[in-house]
A and B are shown apart, each in its own frame.
Chain A
Amino acid sequence: MDFRHPKTWFAATLLLAFALMPAYALLNGQPYYLTLFSRIMIYALAALALNFVLGFGGLASLGHALYLGIGAYGVGILQFHDITNGWLQLGAALIAGLLFATGVGAVVVRLSGMTFIMITLAFAQMGYFLAVTLKYYGGEDGRAIDVRSAMGLFDLSNNTVLYYFIFVCLVAALWLFSRLIDSRFGMVLRGCKSNERRMLALGFPAYRYKLVAYVISALACVLAGFLLANLTKYSSPSYMQWTVSADLIIMVILGGMSTLFGPVVGATTFLLLEELLSSYKPGLFPGVEKLVNEHWPALMGMFVIAVVLSSRQGIYGYVAGMRRR
């Protein structure tokens, strides 16, 4: 970590803000902030996972929400069968995720460009429909989860404990991905994004590495899904909607695609904006406010278009590109 560079301070400050948020929420009597920022950190984790294959591997997966769903249903399904042990739920979800990711990845990683995007989208929808037709586990509406996962020492039913559990997961993921990106494996991935033709000519069986990267990324997303189900106490097919996958990509681009920390910044910005548009009432023009609150997705849509058309490096990418002091 380079402490002379503004980007390190930027990242550290944001992480510190996350660490202190529960205290802030308590002091201001706003327990909702805890939920909001828990959610932000979960999506940051998912975006981080996606960025590994998208930003560093060049694989534009429009189907990563599938793995969020698998994580969530790991909790939902097992809990339905009276298995409340979080480690078992997570373990089952990870195994399911491994199987799905290997299966989907094997088909998908061979492809590139538009076909890749469309196939990942189609597979995610397949997962969505699968969940919808499983009427046993709630079907289209999903199912409420009565109790949060029992994680031994950690009492997740306490919102603050859950918050810090998520925080630790996020930090652990940041550490893990930073090692991965700088490792030999990470270099192969980055090489494949930069010039796959050359990688093949050097002797790298690119397919193998991209598949493994895809699986790793999927598993991190499964963890995010597990945490999401615990936060919302709900498992629903809507977690797997392709629109969620698209949101994740926007978060990655918004924050800065080829940076480690960018997705965290992107997720924070995106979700805070969504929150602002859908419920903020500054008391200006009542008519406009109501319009914004009710039809905020349209504004998000315009925001998305603006980000894509203008984006060069993303917010954190810009900071990372600055000269060090």
Chain B
Amino acid sequence: MREADKLLKIRGLVKRFGGLTATDHIDFDVEPREVHAVIGPNGAGKTTFISQISGELQADEGSIVFAGRELGGTGVPYRARAGLGRSYQVSQIFRDMTALQNVMLATQATAKHSFSFFRPAATDQSLAGPAREALELTGLGHRLHALTSDMAHGEHRQLELAMTLATRPRLLLLDEPTAGMSQAESGDMVKLLKRIKSDYAVILVEHDMDAVFALADRVSVLVYGCIIATGTPDEIRLNPAVREAYLGDQEAEAI
């Protein structure tokens, strides 16, 4: 694939916190229909990396080019509207609303603006329709009117994903989508992601190796802010530097 065709191109990304270099000159690509997973031991800087792509952190050096546009200096809403959809490790949902209301807000975000003052949003089918679809897709079709405070953790993760999908992004930034889920729930999430992945470019940050091997086209390994290896899942599994980095970690068993 030519350089120009890559959906996301990151070159020389650096982020420092005081004396600590959390992101150390990272180069990273994502192609339009691929799942590029990012794995690494705890504290490697995965969330910092993702946050610089989504815009919650501004990089100190380097460039991030998305669909030909340089994202450096832009804020989170700009990047979201450009087609970046992030889901969070700790579900960022609206606690005092129903599942449907949550996703309807996400759908509403795709409109040009929300300066509509008189028509009620709740009965707006142009919002409710796509929201229902997103919820059904992620397996919450039967929980439309449940308050999030009445929902289980696993359902929150499904809702989290539904909201991200409802904004119709081109690139999904999934930060540990199976975090805190049971074996069964994780399996369902992976099945779901497998079904939909061909519609998106995905950056998948994960600790769950089953998920990574089931979904990823490419895997990059992040250790102490540097990418020490990039390749197919099988290549990574056999890479000695990677094994060494994981030695002692429970991931080593999984690999």
**What is the interface of chain A, defined by CB distance below 8 A to chain B?**
179-180, 182-188, 190-191, 194-195, 197-206, 209, 212, 258
B17 within 8 A of A: no
Binary contact track B151-174/A, C-beta < 8 Å → 1, others 0: 000000000000100010000000
- When C-beta atoms are compared, the residue in chain A nearest to B80 turns out to be A203
B11 within 8 A of A: no
Contact for B77 among A184, A187, A195, A200, CB less than 8 A: A200
B119 near A195 with CB under 8 A, answer no
Contact for B81 among A183, A184, A203, A206, CB less than 8 A: A203
In the complex, A206→B75 CA distance in Å?
A: 11
Chain A to chain B contacts (Cβ below 8 Å), 22 pairs:
A182-B120, A183-B116, A183-B118, A183-B121, A184-B108, A184-B111, A184-B119, A184-B124, A185-B116, A185-B117, A187-B114, A188-B105, A190-B97, A194-B95, A194-B97, A198-B92, A200-B77, A200-B80, A203-B80, A204-B109, A206-B77, A258-B96
A184 to chain B, nearest CB (A): 4
Contacts A184-B121, A188-B114 given; indicate if A195 touches B76 (C-beta within 8 A): no
B28 within 8 A of A: no
A2 to chain B, nearest CB (A): 13
Residues of A within 8 A of B88 (CB): 201
Residues of B within 8 A of A195 (CB): 92-95
Residues of B within 8 A of A209 (CB): 114
Contacts A198-B94, A202-B167, A203-B167 given; indicate if A180 touches B117 (C-beta within 8 A): yes
Of A187, A191, A203, A205, which is in contact with the most chain B CB atoms at under 10 Å from its CB?
A203
A204 near B117 with CB under 8 A, answer no
Residues of B within 8 A of A180 (CB): 117
Residues of chain B from 84 to 120 with CB closer than 8 A to chain A in the complex: 86, 88, 92-97, 101, 104-106, 108-111, 114-120
A191 near B118 with CB under 8 A, answer no
In the complex, A197→B94 CA distance in Å?
A: 10
A185 near B76 with CB under 8 A, answer no
A124 to chain B, nearest CB (A): 27
Residues of A within 8 A of B75 (CB): 200
Task: Give me the 10 closest cross-chain CB pairs, A-B, nearest first.
Answer: A203-B80, A202-B109, A198-B92, A184-B116, A194-B94, A203-B81, A182-B120, A200-B76, A184-B114, A203-B109
B187 to chain A, nearest CB (A): 27
Of B56, B80, B110, which is in contact with the most chain A CB atoms at under 10 Å from its CB?
B80
A203 near B105 with CB under 8 A, answer no
Q: A191-B94, A202-B163, A205-B77 are in contact. List 18 more A-B contacts (CB 8 A).
A: A179-B118, A183-B117, A183-B119, A184-B115, A184-B124, A185-B114, A186-B121, A187-B105, A190-B97, A194-B97, A195-B95, A197-B56, A198-B92, A199-B105, A200-B80, A202-B109, A204-B109, A212-B115
- When C-beta atoms are compared, the residue in chain B nearest to A188 turns out to be B114
Contacts A195-B94, A201-B86 given; indicate if A187 touches B118 (C-beta within 8 A): no
Contacts A187-B114, A194-B94, A209-B114 given; indicate if A202 touches B119 (C-beta within 8 A): no
Residues of B within 8 A of A187 (CB): 101, 104-105, 108, 114, 121
In the complex, A179→B117 CA distance in Å?
A: 7
A189 to chain B, nearest CB (A): 9
- When C-beta atoms are compared, the residue in chain A nearest to B166 turns out to be A202
Contact for B122 among A182, A198, A200, CB less than 8 A: A182
B54 within 8 A of A: yes
Of B56, B95, B111, B117, which is in contact with the most chain A CB atoms at under 10 Å from its CB?
B117
Residues of B within 8 A of A179 (CB): 117-118, 120
Residues of chain B from 228 to 248 with CB closer than 8 A to chain A in the complex: none
Residues of A within 8 A of B101 (CB): 187
In the complex, A194→B98 CA distance in Å?
A: 12
- When C-beta atoms are compared, the residue in chain B nearest to A203 turns out to be B80
Of B88, B116, B124, which is in contact with the most chain A CB atoms at under 10 Å from its CB?
B116
B163 to chain A, nearest CB (A): 7
Residues of B within 8 A of A201 (CB): 54, 76, 80, 86, 88, 92
Of B88, B97, B111, B121, which is in contact with the most chain A CB atoms at under 10 Å from its CB?
B121
Binary contact track B33-57/A, C-beta < 8 Å → 1, others 0: 0000000000000000000001010
Residues of B within 8 A of A198 (CB): 92-94, 163
Residues of B within 8 A of A185 (CB): 114-117
In the complex, A202→B92 CA distance in Å?
A: 11
Residues of A within 8 A of B54 (CB): 201
B110 near A203 with CB under 8 A, answer yes
In the complex, A180→B56 CA distance in Å?
A: 30
In the complex, A296→B99 CA distance in Å?
A: 47
A183 near B120 with CB under 8 A, answer yes
